[in-house]
Amino acid sequence: MGFFLTLVLLVASLGLAWRYLGSYMASVFEGRVHWLSWVERPLYRLLGTSPEREQSWKRYAGALVVFSGMSLLFTYLVLRLQGHLPLNPQHLGDVGSALSFNAAASFVTNTNWQNYGGETTMSYFSQITLMVQQFVTPAVGIVAAVVVVRGFARKKASAVGNFWVDLTRCLLYVLLPIAFVAGIVFVGQGAVQTLAGTATFHDALNGVTQTIARGPIAFMEAIKQLGTNGGGFLNANSATPFENPTGLTNFLSVFLLLCIPVSLTYTFGKMVGSRRHGVALLAVMVILFGSVLAVTATAEHQNNPAVAAAGVHASVGNTEGKEVRFGDTTSALFGVASTSTSTGSADAAYDSFTPMGGFGLLVGMMFGEVSPGGTGSGLYTLLIYAVIAVFIGGLMIGRTPEFLGKKIQATEVKLAGLGALVMPIVVLVVTAIAVSTAAGRAGPLNHGPHGFSEILYGLTSQGNNNGSAFGGLTGNTPFYNVIGAIDMLLGRFAIMIPAIALGGVLARKDVVPQSLGTFRTDNTMFVGLTTGVVVIIGGLTFFPALALGPIVEQLSHGRFF
């Protein structure tokens, strides 16, 4: 399938998902979907709650933090005790403490950064435990976004919903059904799904014995993409045919990782009673995504300058580190879709991308992953940027800024500012620590600008809860395991909690009637202003670091493109 045909089919598929999946999710979170009520009601009784028992934003955020903390502890203990637990046909031992902390933090924050090879480190029981987190953590992100949406939708309300009810509904009605159907497709296309252990083959002619890793791969692949998780069963991730066997599964992977973040903009528009506002947010996502894709695909459709310098010239673009099944531009599409969401899965070696191709992947994350971002996290982060854009717009017209009739005042701007600046500050601080210490500088496999890019990429990926890597950073060291875990936890909860607080503050406000002086937040000007805010915050903050990495590396080859 050609690149442009793939794009056309992807846009058409996402358009259908935006309209119908977005509408369906609005119905789910407004409590109008009940086809699994026979499962839902017993779960509420077990949890001691009900849809009628709504929570303030503080209790909602508290329940979310407690649940995530218990998930972190449980996952850590499973990994530390792996050698004593069942479903371990390879008899793998316990995972080390630093790596267990990093992996637990990674999967609980929806990052799925992997400082290990799954097939050589994790038992089936551990992999299944991590897969449970791949369902739970995207659900946590989605319900956090729903709180912000309710903040705009409700008037003079002290409650923003019930965390346990929202989480249950998201799992039962959204993630589990879609992931099950997608998992069947992966199995049907040839992805491996078994608990039978490894397969060993002996070549008597050459005297070579080969052990092939197997496991419950296909269904992990489905939720890995749908939940914008990205962590695969195998170390080669979606580049291996055991996880991603055909062009259809490659296309399905890209669709799955984009469909929920894109569709949530329709959910937002429907829940606040203004689909034009949902379209405006979608337009911002499309502009940012399209720009990054254009840069990356153009860069990857040319020869890698490092390979060309060695006297090797190709007529089909940069094929170094790419699967010939997918090609250069389709791999660029997968990479941009993965890094512009919080997925991080890979069907190619990102370390082998051209300098400007790697620049595109980095920029997608540095935007705050709002193009379209992760499941839930993309929407609430974009709404944070939108609040800042509204504040700037209000200053330009000389009146109190309003968004959907809610006055944006000091508290809202402070919360939005905190949410927007946490990620850049955390990423740049931990990157500075890494490049200024011997333990940090020992990580990259390359020297010079590319080595710096490997460090910057790894810590940007973790701080944005993305999980992808250039592949040239040795991360399984005590230094990178610990600093990476801190990076991931702050990148998740130090943004999510202010977003939930923003929803709670907005929910208490009444709606102010529009007037001729109201700054409109559903038109082209607002789309441009919000896009500008995203680019300026990401660009001004990260440009010096980018200049030291991929930009100077590209210029060192004597040309920019």
Per the model's pLDDT, the better-predicted residue between 305 and 124 turns out to be 124
Asked if the peptide bond before residue 138 counts as cis, ω within 30 degrees of 0, the response is: no
Nearest to 191 by CA among 253, 121, 267: 253
Task: Return d(Cα 441, Cα 458) in angstroms, integer.
Answer: 13
> For a pLDDT cut of 90, what percent of the chain falls above it?
73
Residues 481-501: tens digit of each pLDDT: 999 999 999 999 999 999 999
Distance of CA 523 to the CA centre of its chain: 27
Asked if residue 111 has pLDDT above 90, the reply is yes
Asked if residue 560 has pLDDT above 60, the reply is no
Neighbours of 156 (CB within 10 A): 9
CB of 285 within 8 A of CB of 372?
Answer: yes
Residues 47-105: tens digit of each pLDDT: 999 999 999 999 999 999 999 999 999 999 999 999 999 999 989 999 999 999 999 99
Distance of CA 324 to the CA centre of its chain: 26
Q: What is the mean pLDDT of the chain?
A: 92
Per the model's pLDDT, the better-predicted residue between 489 and 325 turns out to be 489
Q: Which residue has the tokens 């700037």?
A: 392
CB of 277 within 8 A of CB of 269?
Answer: yes
Asked if residue 327 has pLDDT above 80, the reply is yes
Task: Return d(Cα 506, Cα 509) in angstroms, integer.
Answer: 5
Average pLDDT of the segment spanning 347-358: 88
Give the per-residue pLDDT at 251. Answer: 96
Average pLDDT of the segment spanning 440-464: 90
Task: Return d(Cα 124, Cα 118) in angstroms, integer.
Answer: 10
Using 50, 70 and 90 to split pLDDT, how confident is the model at 1?
low
> For a pLDDT cut of 70, what percent of the chain falls above it?
97
Give the per-residue pLDDT at 399. Answer: 75
Task: Return d(Cα 238, Cα 230) in angstroms, integer.
Answer: 9
